[in-house]
Structure 1
Amino acid sequence: MGVAERERSKLLEEGGSCRDSKIGGAGGLELDEGGPDVDVRGGNLIGEAPPPEEVSIEEAAKSATAYTNPGPFEALTSEAKKYVFVDTFDGARLDLSKQLSPMMMINHNFWLGTSMLQNANKHYTFTSQVVADEDQTTVLVGRLDMNGTMEGRVIKTFRQDEDLSVVGKFVCVATPEFDAGSNQLAGDVDLSGKSWSGNVKYGCMGGGDYFSCNYLQAITPRFCVGGEAAYIGAQKVSVGSYGCRYNGVGWMGSAQWSGQQGALSLNYMKTITKDRVNFGAELQVAPTMESNVVFGAEFNLKQSKVSTVIDGGGGIKTVVEAKLHPAANLQFSAEADHLKDSFKFGYGMTIMG
């Protein structure tokens, strides 16, 4: 066996490939550049990815993106709407809240010199909230105003865990006139899971029976769709609405359509600066070819917050809230409608004790 053949056999045993060539006019050897190179340590072709590691189903489930609960259907557009809605008022308003114990809190609300109430320019409301048990699953809320209207609420959490949450609510409203249109008696149940939420409600409202149910489902971690159906016995009509929402990175968009009126509402919010500046917009379109657009912005400063809204009719609403103390806030409210020649101003204070 010649030298070339012995070298060829040696390279083949080590995993390489070779071919005859002429170097300096003599018979020589060189690696075959056209053939695949072999990693003699691992037995894999050089440049080829190693076989994937086996992953168990449990590990894959843990690494998968979890679906989040989309929240109640009633709050489908609330995140975007809060930047296009400003709670303006006129006159003077004072809110006093006192934590009497870890289980009880009371609130006094005074509103004087206002033109926003029907047949009155002043209003007072007393509210009390009590946690009825040690595990804090039952909350009682009572409210009484200066007109004698009483409202009572019972909120009971039956189950609260990762798989299922069940919360029941009972509401009773009574007026001194015992007007069937103003009195209310209703109960509802909130259900929510890892990726869905629903509500069922039944009661007597407006002088007739009332029944409604809604459902909201997360299709992806960022997108959810849902709908609501209701029957109003006093008017003998059935209504329905449908909506969807997409949560992007730093922005959110939602749409809601009302089946009876045929009205479409589109909402959008954008975080310009995290925890500082937020922007919102709303477009409402009706079959009567009437539409309305609203733009709003919220600015969170070091010791104050400014919220302003401008609608398509030229109306401007602004509320400035200044923090005087960790437990005291001062509000200034202004509303101007140049087309209607209407201007309203107010100031208020909120004190927590």
Structure 2
Amino acid sequence: MLCNATTFLIKMGLGVSKCEAAPDPTILLPPPPPGTAAPRGAPEAPVVNEKFKNNPGSYEDLSKKCKEIFPQPFEGAKVMINKSLNQGFHVSHTLTMSLHHPSGYRLNDLTSASPAVTPERRPLVLLGEHGPQREALKTKFVVQVMNSKFAGTQFGLDFKGRDFTASATLANFNLFSETGIGVVHFLQAITPKLCVGAELMYQQAPQIPGGAATALTCSGRLTTDESIWSAFAGTNNLGMSYYRRLNEEIQIGVELENSYQQQQFIAAIGYQFELPKANFSMKAMIDNNWTVTGVLEKRLLPMPFLLSVCGSLNHVKNQFRLGCGFSIGA
């Protein structure tokens, strides 16, 4: 899939193996009729700051809507318990049982943090964010602890203006060993439907020829009434994504990426089918490697339970994977 450099930092330096699209926090609830109270227990509608109504969002979320269409496959059995302690702190417990992947238990302090676990690396990852919702400045700090030592660190800073967003990230910087990665993002809104931006990544390490390397990527996004187009072109790769909502039940997405260094081309098409009244949803995709993946999700209301069934089949390698998950909580 199309992963930006910041996600790449976590993947290479902090042990995360996949891109996960974060839930959209900007969904507003309709106000109650005059003279009536909101339903008991219903979440309060967030207040939209008019100052940032033309803000294009973060560079990381240029193709967010398309990424949300594609399923996140898993194999074996998985049980997850989510608990919201307060508005800004969430805890998740995950128990995984698999024949082809490492099995075990994970405790995450944030449900959005889902680093990979391998037999050689079973780190503890702590992720914290600070910044009032929809305010201009937000900071993020990630620490990875393994074998009682700091195995990785990452610090990020986001500044949101009226019609732009600027971000900076530092990962695993060590002045003594002269190693580390730095990334700078900038995204500017040209019109309410068009935005362009750039990403500059700098990496320093002794094993790199010349001791350091830089990579520049330019990106853009065009939003219409029914679809979203995004594209990027850099020194190492180029790609594009397309998202469209066909109706209230069906959404589709297409992703293309060509990597110069790995000499690899990736093409994938996916869709999401939802039946809100039945509390049922399905995500499926197929890529140019003839891998077909599907995830079915069913909410077992009125209890806060979510049942997930995942299947993945590679027609070329004749490999089949099946997963079943059960989530408790939000």
TM-score using structure 2 length: 0.72
| 1:99 aligned counterpart, secondary structure | strand
Residue 227 (structure 1) aligned with residue 173 (structure 2): no
**Change in 2 beyond 3 A, CA 1:238/1:104:** closer
| 1:74 aligned counterpart, secondary structure | helix
Which residue in the other structure is 1:242 paired with? Answer: 218
**Change in 2 beyond 3 A, CA 1:114/1:225:** farther
Find the aligned partners of 1:269 and 1:112 in 2 and give their Cα distance. 34
Residue 271 (structure 1) aligned with residue 245 (structure 2): yes
Find the aligned partners of 1:195 and 1:315 in 2 and give their Cα distance. 40
| 1:70 aligned counterpart, secondary structure | coil
Does structure 2 retain, via aligned residues, the 8 Å contact 1:95–1:108? yes
- Which of 267, 279, 284 is residue 293 of structure 1 equivalent to? 267
Does structure 2 retain, via aligned residues, the 8 Å contact 1:144–1:150? no
Does structure 2 retain, via aligned residues, the 8 Å contact 1:125–1:144? no
* Contiguous gaps of at least 5 residues in structure 2: 1-51
Which residue in the other structure is 2:59 paired with? Answer: 73
Find the aligned partners of 1:297 and 1:344 in 2 and give their Cα distance. 20
Count of equivalent residues: 264
Shift of 1:229: 0.5
Shift of 1:112: 0.4
Larger radius of gyration: 1
Does structure 2 retain, via aligned residues, the 8 Å contact 1:92–1:348? yes
**Change in 2 beyond 3 A, CA 1:349/1:229:** same
Amino acid at match of 2:65: E
**Change in 2 beyond 3 A, CA 1:253/1:123:** same
- Which of 117, 123, 133 is residue 104 of structure 2 equivalent to? 123
Larger RCO (alpha carbons 8 Å, 6+ apart): 2
Shift of 1:90: 0.9
Amino acid at match of 2:325: G
Find the aligned partners of 2:93 and 2:133 in 1 and give their Cα distance. 32
Which residue in the other structure is 2:253 paired with? Answer: 280
Which residue in the other structure is 2:32 paired with? Answer: none
* Contiguous gaps of at least 5 residues in structure 1: 1-65, 130-140
Over the aligned positions, Cα root-mean-square deviation in angstroms equals 3.0
Amino acid at match of 1:126: L
Residue 175 (structure 1) aligned with residue 152 (structure 2): no
Does structure 2 retain, via aligned residues, the 8 Å contact 1:126–1:144? no
Amino acid at match of 2:171: G
| 1:79 aligned counterpart, secondary structure | helix
Find the aligned partners of 2:54 and 2:308 in 1 and give their Cα distance. 36
Which residue in the other structure is 2:92 paired with? Answer: 107
**Change in 2 beyond 3 A, CA 1:237/1:289:** closer
